[in-house]
Amino acid sequence: MGSAALTILGKDLRLRLRDRSVWIFALAVPLGLTVLFSLIFPDTEDLQITGAVVDLDGGAVAAGFADGVIPALVDEGLLERIVVADAEAARSQVTDGDLDVAWILPVGFSDAIGAGEQVELEVLVAAGRSLEGEVARGIAEAYAAEVGRIGLAVTIEAAMTGGLDPGLIGGLGELAASQPRLASLADEVSDVGDPLDFTSYLAAGMAAFFVFFTVQFGVTGLLEERKLGTMPRLLAAPIRPAAIQAGKLLGALLLGLASMVVLAVASAVLLGADWGPPLGTAILIVALVIAALGVMALVGSFARTAEQAGNLQSIVAVVLGLVGGVFFPLPGDAGVLRIATLISPHGWFLRGLDAQASAGDWTLALGPAAAIVAFGIVTAIPAVVLQRRRQAW
């Protein structure tokens, strides 16, 4: 970009930083709300499930679950295992709420798996323990999927060799329980609803929410110049008209990035938050600021005045933020809401942080970041078209 754009960028940043409301809304309010919400809502960081396993089968595959998977969860501190006498006892304790969950492995479980037949691992969940239930169900599904895969392989082998090798079936549960994929699956599932710790989630959510307001000036800046009366002077200057918008977008981008980075660092230093691997976090932040610019530009291009634009943009930013779950993690079993997070850049942002933080792998941020950037592009294109049409020449 030319020096005119940079000059405008410099002027805009100077004006922004002089505006106290920018500091308040870009930094103070998000941090304040994070503190407030983390006080109001319980911290789910130390999610601990009280559960029991009832093995009515006694076969090898069932044992793989009861003696392989479950102890691993206990070791991880996720599960407190209660020993119960039988299925009835488990059922009544779940009903009473003494147990959060119970897994019941039915009679014939191992054989059915070995024969490649349909069989259900029953999961009981106490009322009001939806989060725990989600985790328990996830663990069961993960195991079932794993043994199902292996079971299929065994069945094929049986069909080819004309008989079942009992030894093979015996080793099935062990095999399934030791699968690394299952372990990681259980790991991931165990983090549902608590991907980042609660404070980090909130801090990131608040930052994502408010950055949409921070970048506003970049897209409504032209309307504001018009309101100030400075637009004729900018248009009379020997610069390309596009430089005016370019300078503003660049300024908004920088300010948006800066506010998010400062919030990430400040929430870490002041509140002990951790947004996960820095590289992935940085990628997600850049993506989100781009999306914020695109979305706000599109909304703003329907407005005639700066006030109108501000109102429309606020509505959209609040709705996308709410839907994206910036104020509280959405419960995992709320299917519609889960889908809703997918249509919100905020939702993708939090998912991306969640994924990369849980796995400690920044590359997991790339998918969600791509989705967020797509938001930006899809909204920016019509915004540019509308803006072009609006121009006086």
- Footprint of other proteins on this chain (CB under 8 A)? 3-4, 7-8, 11, 14-15, 18-19, 228-241, 392-393
Min. distance of Cβ 262 from other proteins in angstroms?
22
Min. distance of Cβ 321 from other proteins in angstroms?
29
Is the Cβ of residue 89 or residue 239 nearer to other proteins in the bound state? 239
Q: What is each CA distance from 290 to 230, 296, 378, in whole angstroms?
A: 27, 10, 11
Min. distance of Cβ 301 from other proteins in angstroms?
20
Min. distance of Cβ 1 from other proteins in angstroms?
14
What is the Cα–Cα distance from 75 to 99, expressed in whole angstroms?
A: 19
Min. distance of Cβ 307 from other proteins in angstroms?
17
In terms of DSSP bridges, do strands 122-125 and 101-105 run parallel, antiparallel, or are they unpaired?
antiparallel
Min. distance of Cβ 10 from other proteins in angstroms?
8
Is the Cβ of residue 118 or residue 393 nearer to other proteins in the bound state? 393
3-class DSSP string for the chain? CCHHHHHHHHHHHHHHHHCHHHHHHHHHHHHHHHHHHHHHCCCCCCCCEEEEEEECCCCHHHHHHHHHHHHHHHHHCCEEECCCCCHHHHHHHHHHCCCCEEEEECCCHHHHHHCCCCCCCEEEECCCCHHHHHHHHHHHHHHHHHHHHHHHHHHHHHHHHCCCCHHHHHHHHHHHHCCHHHHHHHHHHCCCCCCCCHHHHHHHHHHHHHHHHHCHHHHHHHHHHHHHCCHHHHHHCCCCHHHHHHHHHHHHHHHHHHHHHHHHHHHHHHHCCCCCCHHHHHHHHHHHHHHHHHHHHHHHCCCCCHHHHHHHHHHHHHHHHHHCCCCCCCCCCCHHHHHHHHCCHHHHHHHHHHHHHHHCCHHHHHHHHHHHHHHHHHHHHHHHHHHHHHCCC
Is the Cβ of residue 17 or residue 265 nearer to other proteins in the bound state? 17
Is the Cβ of residue 228 or residue 334 nearer to other proteins in the bound state? 228
Min. distance of Cβ 292 from other proteins in angstroms?
24
What is the Cα–Cα distance from 390 to 393, expressed in whole angstroms?
A: 9
What is the Cα–Cα distance from 175 to 173, expressed in whole angstroms?
A: 5
Min. distance of Cβ 251 from other proteins in angstroms?
13
What is the Cα–Cα distance from 257 to 346, expressed in whole angstroms?
A: 15
Is the Cβ of residue 63 or residue 222 nearer to other proteins in the bound state? 222
Is the Cβ of residue 26 or residue 292 nearer to other proteins in the bound state? 26
Is the Cβ of residue 230 or residue 311 nearer to other proteins in the bound state? 230
Min. distance of Cβ 125 from other proteins in angstroms?
58
Min. distance of Cβ 221 from other proteins in angstroms?
12
The sign of the torsion formed by the CA atoms of 271, 273, 278, 282 equals: negative
Is the Cβ of residue 83 or residue 236 nearer to other proteins in the bound state? 236
Is the Cβ of residue 153 or residue 237 nearer to other proteins in the bound state? 237
Is the Cβ of residue 247 or residue 345 nearer to other proteins in the bound state? 247
Is the Cβ of residue 164 or residue 239 nearer to other proteins in the bound state? 239
Min. distance of Cβ 231 from other proteins in angstroms?
8
Phi, psi dihedrals of residue 107, rounded to the nearest 5°: -60, 140
